[in-house]
A and B are shown apart, each in its own frame.
Chain A
Amino acid sequence: MTPVDRHKPRSPLDLFVSFNQLALQGFGGVLAVAQRELVERKRWISNEEFVEEWSVAQVMPGPNIVNFALMIGGRHFGLGGAVAAVTGLLAAPLVLVLLLALVYAQYINNPHVVGALRGMGAVAAGLIISAALKLSSSIKSNPLGPPACVALGVTCFIGIALLRWPLVYVLPGLGVTSCMLAYRQLKP
């Protein structure tokens, strides 16, 4: 992506509205929607930057998507932007989830509602997988090289998705290896 294609949020209000919109589309998590909205539609960041910044959001304590919103908001409008993005992310979904909690008891056993939620869950899973597929194109420019990236990624997937090992063991173990390899590849 060339700098000409790049757009920026116009104001903290723009951040608030944008994060509000993507949060309300985020069934089963907001990460994949963030990739779709911020990289593909709004073009505030590239796939490569998205992965790099997400890695920071991932290893810090706290909800990844909140850390990510802090990062995007703070980058453009400082602390005010960070607060605007996080508030946008949380405010409307919070009201919605409280309303849902109030009516939940009446519909919990309705087979139509249960079925609709299962269907939306399956779509949400597909969305997340599609975002991973798109972001995987960003490793072409990674100094680790595609074979090492694929080996690390596949090992991580087997540990987390198939063997269901805890993230707190898998991420530091593979992360230290991977970062040391990258450090050796980079010119001092």
Chain B
Amino acid sequence: MPHLVLQWTDWLDLFLHYSALSLLSVGGVISTAPEMHRYLVDQLHWLSEAQFNSSIAIAQAAPGPNILFVALMGWNIGLNAGSFAAALLGVLLTMSGILIPSSTLAYLAIRWGHQNRELRVVRAFKLGMAPLVISLMGATGWILASANSDPAKDWPLWLLTAATAMILWRSKIHLLWLLAVGAALGWFGGL
């Protein structure tokens, strides 16, 4: 784990770098992770390889938006700089950097789109994108499921995914029940 001495200019750089990435993060913030890796791990050595990877893994495992991996990177940079106060500063700077520019742009664009929702070009955009948006959601589920890549060994996981999809499609059962079943099956070695 690196030990860092960070000046306020370094913190400013961190904020500005994430602000720039914010505007480039079309298709989700995870698509900018390779650039974060180049900057934080390869170039500045502010994070170790293990810290970078575990930031993404923990955010994926925890409930909530996956974007919180950004907060964990800021947290780890702060810890490397030596204190919990610095870790909280890291969270604040990375999260506000990654969120404020894109959110400002999105808020203005959404408001414009809503005010002009009867325009033919706005209707065409939303209706034209609809089949792609639904397809992308299916693709996301597929990619998550195929993280379990060995069919001979992982077939129970695929079965669980398929069963969950059918049950949730056709019933109104609360999601947390199924998550609990999945966790219990995995905990006791059924998967």
Contact = CB atoms under 8 A, between A and B. Distances in A.
A6 interface: no
A94 B42 CA distance: 26
B190 to A, nearest CB: 8
A62 B105 contact: yes
A55 to B, nearest CB: 3
A31 B64 CA distance: 10
What secondary structure prevails in chain B residues at the interface with A? helix
Given A62-B105, A98-B71, A104 B184 contact: no
A92 interface: yes
Interface in A68-120: 70-71, 74-75, 79, 82, 86, 89-90, 92-94, 96-98, 100-101, 104, 108, 111-120
B109 interface: yes
B22 A62 contact: yes
Provide the main secondary structure of the chain A interface. Answer: helix
Contacts of B83: none
A156 B110 contact: no
Interface residues of B, number: 96
B19 to A, nearest CB: 11
Contacts, number: 365
A117 B178 CA distance: 13
A175 B132 contact: yes
Given A29-B140, A136-B134, A175-B129, A97 B64 contact: yes
Given A62-B103, A126-B164, A93 B129 contact: no
Given A56-B109, A124-B144, A51 B123 contact: no
12 contacts: A56-B109, A62-B102, A65-B65, A101-B75, A120-B179, A123-B160, A126-B165, A153-B135, A156-B132, A157-B142, A160-B143, A183-B121
Interface of B: 22-29, 31, 54-55, 58-68, 71-72, 75-76, 91, 95, 98-99, 101-103, 105-107, 109-111, 113-114, 120-121, 123-145, 147-148, 157-158, 160-169, 172, 175-176, 178-179, 181-191
Given A124-B179, A131-B137, A156-B132, 15 more contacts: A33-B175, A55-B132, A66-B102, A94-B64, A98-B72, A104-B58, A112-B186, A118-B157, A119-B185, A121-B157, A122-B191, A124-B144, A130-B167, A138-B130, A139-B131
